[in-house]
Structure 1
Amino acid sequence: MKQLRPKKAWEMSRREFLQTVGTTAAGVSVSSKKLLAATGPFTKASGRQKKPATVRGAFIYPPTESLRKVGYYSWPGSSFDAEGRQRQYMEAIKRMERNLGMRISMDEKPLDGAASVAQFINGIKQSKPDGLLLIPFKKGHWGHVTRIIEEVGIPAVVLATLGILLVDHINQLHQKSGVYLINSLDNLEAVKDGMNMIRTAHWMKESRIVNIVGSELKEKTVPQLGTQVRTIPHQRFYDEFKRTKATDAVKKLAHAYLNNAKDVVQPTKTDILEAAKTYFVLKRLIEDEKANAVMMDCLPGLKRPHKHVPPCMGFMSLRDEGIAAGCQSDLSATLTLMLVQQLFDKPGFQQNASMETEKNHYFGAHCTSASKLNGTNTAAEPYILMSHCEAGWGCVPRVLWRPGRDVTMAQYVPGETPQMLIYSGKVVGCPSIPQTGGCRTNIEMTINEVDDACDVKGMHQIIFYGNYAKQMRTFCQLYGINVVT
């Protein structure tokens, strides 16, 4: 008797697919905005217990009444209401504190004389906050600001509204390591960015990456950032994958993958179902190790004899919910994914670097990408389900990046003197497959910072939506990271 070839996923109706993966999933309608609802009881990884980031701050100016008595105000001038501006700023700072989930403790009384500045400095040295917020309202008190920064030596955000400082004051701190000077009219949004940078650095210091590679159990701490890396054996993933059954939650996620796909090319119904398991395996290991991110040497298990299916769909789902998932146990890429997620709420795309030399474009490709490229609470970009490029089997996403979108490319290079590669540009398109070789998700983009795209440095850099090159450079200045382009 002739054996019938089983239907492949792209030959099946959605109804047929749902019948194959189980009746529970059939009753669930999952839009691209609700893809993560299909991932069962898990939410974000709880990770290590963290204390909120703390910032100490002060306003720096003399009482307006004292200037009135003298009869001379200097900048910002006689019409500037310092006390009123402090009240206005404090309302915004309290909102920042709530929205960022951190503590910003501002002294109620402004710093004026040398004694009050000395007392403030001593308090900082004792309490050891994560950073400073200094807001001067008097040009003549600029020396207090620079004294605090020099004597305390921790990251400091300084806001001077327009019309207080002159060029020499600005240039004292404009490019100073450890300082983010904002000389801008009531720019509290920039202050919020600075506070979020301090919060992010604190979060990185208290976070843990679980690294799935090799056969040993070991730990290390990343210099400067302080992030802990806990390595667990590959066998943990292999065993957990074997134990994971096609539960209702797995079927529901498989349905979501199919239901939200623009097209399905190679994967079978079994491929899609098995791919959904990898999310739950990875999430369980993250939870077990109280980690905040994961990276995995993901290619060896794809060779014969197969140890597991490509984990690329699981990586997509993790990134879509804000959990960094780094391919090939690349620490640099994983740390960058974490930083970008915390700084900008943008899931990133780790990719192999190449170039389109005749068009002078950058070309990058990998077999996984986040789909919620606009942010974790946004709709997914269109994607196509394909087989793994290099292994030739399984189910991975080809996420379609939108032409014309601004993008940033960054790579944190750890070490005693850390570096950050920073580039920006625009998406040209996603070259068609077939015709184009390389991994399934690909992106062709322009580069702003170099004349020749072949001068772009790095491998496995992270690309994400939006031009955040300036903010990335500011973060690097605040934390003594050398910027490279």
Structure 2
Amino acid sequence: MSPGDAERVVKEVGDVDGYAVFMLGAWAGVGYAIARTGKPTVLVDDLYGGSGELILTYARVKSEGLPVLPVASSRFEDAVKAIRLIEVISSIRRSKIIVVTDGDVSKSAEAIKESLGIEVLKVSPDKLNRYYREASLEEAEKWADKWISEALRVVEPSRDEIVKAGRMYLAMKRLLMEENASAITVDCLTLVYSGRLEAYPCLGFFQLNNEGFIGACEADLNSTAAMLIIKHLTGEPSFISDPVFDLSKGWIIYAHCVAPSKVYGPGGGSNPYIIRSHAEDRRGASIQSLMPLGEEVTTIQVNPFEKAMTVHTGRAVANIDDEKACRTKLAVEVKADRILENWRWGWHRVTFYGNWAKEVRNLAKLMGFKVYQEDL
């Protein structure tokens, strides 16, 4: 097969999500001819047969910034895993985020669409509040009873506050269903503090994340995009946090008032949780999730403007119970000093269970994203 043959095949197959090129021999030039289409391309080396061309082709396409991932392995499942990432990218590109805010998110929405293919739909707080008022009180009470019965305990919120959270959950779920979206993020702090949101969305986010949707805090579109990437890569939920460094222990404490209780996905087991008030103003209802310990976790962030991602890993060691700051506080043993030195792009990070750093790096290559490994 020649480069001309490859170009003919590209024209014949039309628009595709990506390519897998099995390099069975050397110096045909096919891998480069296909990679230069700019589509995600996996180059698979038939060891010895295609090795020389894979090495030189990858060096060339890498220097040109093309979205290519090389696989040089005697384990065929490594090729299968790499090719599956093309499907992950396709799923990401078909996703839609609803952002509920009065603010101007046009630049972020445009960058996310251009770099990730994700559509961002802005919805007014008035519409969410209308759906909240139209939500069935009977259904909201059922959700409140479920959350209360499954919680370890309820500390501050009254049942009425938890029922309000149930109505907000139903309102957000209605928006997601109507718009065929898989993620929603709400400018919660701004809207609640200004009296323009009728209930905190924290418990609703908790439930959506447990169900396989995405509920994200503070109209943070970058973190919401990161959560979508995680969902399609792993099938797991994740949670946004305000990381707090404790260099004396080599920890980062990932703190927020929303986190899932099904960290392994909707079909997995549930960890305990406590229903609390929102930490900053001691109002509403939020979640203190007591997350599994002794396991590896991965933390990422996305910058669509730079087409780049950060990643670091660690081991969950403690659930911190402290009245300071947000309710959920997962302490993770990390290379804290290195991460602090390498920090970039704001405070929020997004954490999920398992060591997925290699998969994140590979996915980023196929998306044409740069990766900053924060713990090196």
TM-score normalised over the length of structure 2: 0.88
Q: Pick the aligned partner of 1:134 from 5, 10, 21.
A: 21
Distance in 1 separating the partners of 2:72 and 2:140: 52
Report the CA distance shift for 1:463/1:120 in structure 2 as closer, same or farther (over 3 A). same
Matched residue SS, 1:395? strand
Structure 1 position 195, deviation (Å): 3.0
> Does residue 187 of structure 1 match 2:76?
yes
Cα shift readout 1:198-242 (whole Å, capped 9, x = no counterpart):
122222323221110017897954222121111111111122212
Distance in 1 separating the partners of 2:26 and 2:214: 44
In structure 2, stretches of 5+ residues that fail to align are none
- Letter in structure 2 aligned against 1:381: N
Residue of structure 2 equivalent to 1:105: none
Cα shift readout 1:112-164 (whole Å, capped 9, x = no counterpart):
x43xx53342231351211001223x3x3353443433443321112235454
Kept in 2, the 8 Å contact 1:125–1:152? The answer is no
Distance in 2 separating the partners of 1:394 and 1:159: 53
Aligned residues: 364
Distance in 2 separating the partners of 1:224 and 1:257: 38
Residue of structure 1 equivalent to 2:91: 203
After TM superposition, list the pairs within 5 Å mapping 1:374-393 onto structure 2.
374-393=264-283
Distance in 2 separating the partners of 1:142 and 1:404: 49
Residue of structure 2 equivalent to 1:451: 338
Distance in 1 separating the partners of 2:56 and 2:251: 36
> Does residue 423 of structure 1 match 2:312?
yes
- Letter in structure 2 aligned against 1:224: S
- Letter in structure 1 aligned against 2:247: T
Higher mean displacement: 453-462 or 380-389: 453-462
- Letter in structure 2 aligned against 1:461: R
Report the CA distance shift for 1:198/1:302 in structure 2 as closer, same or farther (over 3 A). same
Structure 1 position 304, deviation (Å): 6.5
Structure 1 position 387, deviation (Å): 0.7
Matched residue SS, 1:451? helix
Structure 1 position 450, deviation (Å): 5.6
Structure 1 position 321, deviation (Å): 1.6
Residue of structure 1 equivalent to 2:7: 121
Kept in 2, the 8 Å contact 1:423–1:449? The answer is no
Matched residue SS, 1:359? coil
Distance in 2 separating the partners of 1:167 and 1:424: 33
- Letter in structure 2 aligned against 1:241: Y
Cα shift readout 1:89-127 (whole Å, capped 9, x = no counterpart):
xxxxxxxxxxxxxxxxxxxxxxxx43xx53342231351
Distance in 2 separating the partners of 1:361 and 1:218: 36
Residue of structure 1 equivalent to 2:118: 227
Kept in 2, the 8 Å contact 1:216–1:232? The answer is no
Distance in 2 separating the partners of 1:281 and 1:120: 50
Distance in 1 separating the partners of 2:103 and 2:55: 54
Kept in 2, the 8 Å contact 1:131–1:156? The answer is yes
In structure 1, stretches of 5+ residues that fail to align are 1-112
Kept in 1, the 8 Å contact 2:144–2:163? The answer is yes
Kept in 2, the 8 Å contact 1:362–1:446? The answer is yes
- Letter in structure 1 aligned against 2:43: V
Structure 1 position 310, deviation (Å): 1.2
> Does residue 173 of structure 1 match 2:58?
yes
Structure 1 position 186, deviation (Å): 3.5
**Residue identity (%):** 25
TM-score normalised over the length of structure 1: 0.69
Residue of structure 1 equivalent to 2:37: 152
Q: Pick the aligned partner of 1:478 from 348, 357, 366.
A: 366
Distance in 2 separating the partners of 1:123 and 1:245: 55
Distance in 1 separating the partners of 2:98 and 2:268: 27
Larger radius of gyration: 1
Structure 1 position 413, deviation (Å): 0.7
Distance in 2 separating the partners of 1:278 and 1:414: 29
- Letter in structure 1 aligned against 2:321: S
Residue of structure 1 equivalent to 2:149: 259
Kept in 1, the 8 Å contact 2:26–2:53? The answer is no
Kept in 1, the 8 Å contact 2:45–2:51? The answer is no
Report the CA distance shift for 1:315/1:274 in structure 2 as closer, same or farther (over 3 A). same
Matched residue SS, 1:130? coil
Residue of structure 1 equivalent to 2:218: 328
